[in-house]
Amino acid sequence: MDISVIIPSTQVAVAQGDMDGTKSWEDWHQIMGHINQGALEQLFNKNMVNGMKVDRDSPCNYFCEACVQAKHQIASYPQESKSKSNSVGNLTVTDVWGPTGTQSLQGNSYFVTFTNMCSCLTIAGFMKSTKDIFKPYKAYDVKYTRL
């Protein structure tokens, strides 16, 4: 087996500072994994990080785009569907989940649910593969046509 070492021709600086290692508050914020300013100042004031030199003239109220984006929230998933149906079989909602980390005793790795939105009848089916979806669908179809 041939093993070769590849040495990059250029290096990228994560943060720039003075020759003595002094960096701005914003640089240290990024180096320390985007921790909040209070925690960063505590690390500095209590001398908890070896070699942490801060440019005292650098602003401590910097804007960090990465932190703003990380704090964005997505609207929560509604507890109840707004889709309603007045007749059985008119609207069916389905969901396939898997593969599971562990197969069932029968060798199934997926499950599917079918929910009739008028009666709220839900049927769950178990499958070895997503290709096996027709069998659970037929079981659901038989149940809802009896309603």
Rounded to an integer, what distance in angstroms lies between the CA atom of residue 89 and that of residue 76?
Answer: 28
Residue whose C-alpha is closest to residue 117's, from 141, 135, 92: 92
Q: What is the pLDDT of residue 35?
A: 92
Q: Which residue has the higher pLDDT, 17 or 96?
A: 96
Q: What is the pLDDT of residue 76?
A: 75
Long-range CB pairs of 62-66 (<8 Å, 24+ gap) are 62/24, 62/25, 62/26, 62/29, 64/26, 64/29, 64/30, 64/34, 66/30, 66/34
How many beta carbons lie within 10 A of that of residue 89, not counting itself? Answer: 14
Ranking 72-76, 82-86, 89-93 by mean pLDDT, the lowest is 72-76
Condensed to tens digits (0 to 9), the pLDDT of residues 27-54 reads 999 998 999 999 999 999 999 888 899 9
Q: Which residue has the higher pLDDT, 129 or 7?
A: 129
